[in-house]
Amino acid sequence: MPDIVIAFFALGLLAGLLKSDLKVPNAVYETLSILLMLTLGLKGGLALHGRADLAVLPDLLLIGSLGVLIPLALYPVLKRWVRLGSADAVSIAAHYGSVSAGTFAVALALAERAGMPLAPETTLYLVLLELPALVVMLWWYQRQKKRAHSDAPLAQHSALHVWHEALTSRSVLLLVGGVAIGWLYGPEGLAPITPTLLGGFKTFLALFLLEMGICTARACFPLPIQHWRLLIFAALAPFVLASVGLAVGLGLGLPAGSVLILAALTASASYIAAPAAIRASVPEANIGLAMLASLGVTFPVNVLIGLPLYQRWVEALV
């Protein structure tokens, strides 16, 4: 049987397809997002507690570089094969270079259920991969715009401003803050909140995925056949990108659980941080297309098909 949290995603998807009045109130969804991000950070901080191993820095830098290389590699594919304009190609490349915290949470639950070993710094992969893609693609967009219009005014959002927006976003602050708190306080310091936050992790994730299933149905149905190239890209890209994460994880000699999570992250696409950054900095981009691809297609493909498949790949190779 699939992990129980997957059943909640399927229930939300079914409810959306049946046009049910089931919905998670916005206030509850926002609360779940905060609790999920904070709990992920705390889990990573607890794993790092008492460690000060600088030997992992080269590995972390290599993993972070994937956030730059993946969107730059996807941009020409989106331009030439999917036939998107520059703004939409930048937008979707940024979404796929960045990562999905929801996919990370499901992959973490899957790895823990299977008893797969995890490197203590695994949660840091999420932070390292979320930011670079947004910054590099916004820089690329400004560069392309200046080439096309040499007399165009300077973009309002400088690289420094983009970094500020990215680093102060809610998800990054909660993740990094949670890691810092877990690392500093350790199991004893966190004992008063452990039953509620860490013990409730799967409950938060299940309710979050229920809403994600409803959102997926809303984004994908009726299916926009006119965007068939983008739909094919969104369905196939996760498996290609997962193989990149898998190869890097194996090359670095990471434990099985960390390889699975790195493959899941590279296969994922952002639907929280990236839309906000792109909407502010690339107003010409159609955010609906990005959400259709990342949330409507790639997220369910990963959750329902991809993650169990990536787990089998890891078990066969590690």
Tens-digit pLDDT profile for residues 278-312: 876 788 888 888 989 998 899 999 999 999 999 99
pLDDT digits (tens, 9 = 90+) for 190-233: 999 989 888 888 898 899 889 888 888 887 777 788 889 999 99
What is residue 246's predicted lDDT score, i.e. its pLDDT?
Answer: 97
CATH number for 4-147+157-317 (one of 1.20.1530.20, 3.40.50.970, 3.40.50.300, 3.40.50.2300): it is: 1.20.1530.20
What is residue 154's predicted lDDT score, i.e. its pLDDT?
Answer: 45
What is residue 52's predicted lDDT score, i.e. its pLDDT?
Answer: 64
pLDDT digits (tens, 9 = 90+) for 140-159: 887 777 776 655 444 444 55
- The arithmetic mean of pLDDT across residues 12-28, rounded, is 89
Joined together, the tokens standing for residue 22 give: 């089931």
What is residue 158's predicted lDDT score, i.e. its pLDDT?
Answer: 54
pLDDT digits (tens, 9 = 90+) for 50-79: 776 677 889 989 999 999 999 999 999 999
| Nearest by Cα to 76 from 92, 61, 58, 60 | 92
What is residue 215's predicted lDDT score, i.e. its pLDDT?
Answer: 85
Could you tell me if 292 and 215 are in contact, meaning their C-beta atoms sit under 8 angstroms apart?
no
Average predicted confidence (pLDDT) for the chain = 87
What is residue 192's predicted lDDT score, i.e. its pLDDT?
Answer: 93
Q: Is pLDDT at 115 greater than 60 in this prediction?
A: yes
Q: Rounded to whole angstroms, how far apart are CA atoms 101 and 107?
A: 10
Quote the pTM value. 0.83
Q: Rounded to whole angstroms, how far apart are CA atoms 95 and 77?
A: 14
- Which CA distances in Å does 69 have to 159, 185, 289? 18, 36, 22
* Cis status, amide bond into 275, omega within 30 of 0: no
Point out the least confidently predicted range of 23-32, 81-90, 240-249: 23-32
Domain boundaries, the chain: 4-147+157-317
What is residue 162's predicted lDDT score, i.e. its pLDDT?
Answer: 60
What is residue 281's predicted lDDT score, i.e. its pLDDT?
Answer: 76
Confidence of residue 133 (pLDDT cuts 50, 70, 90): confident
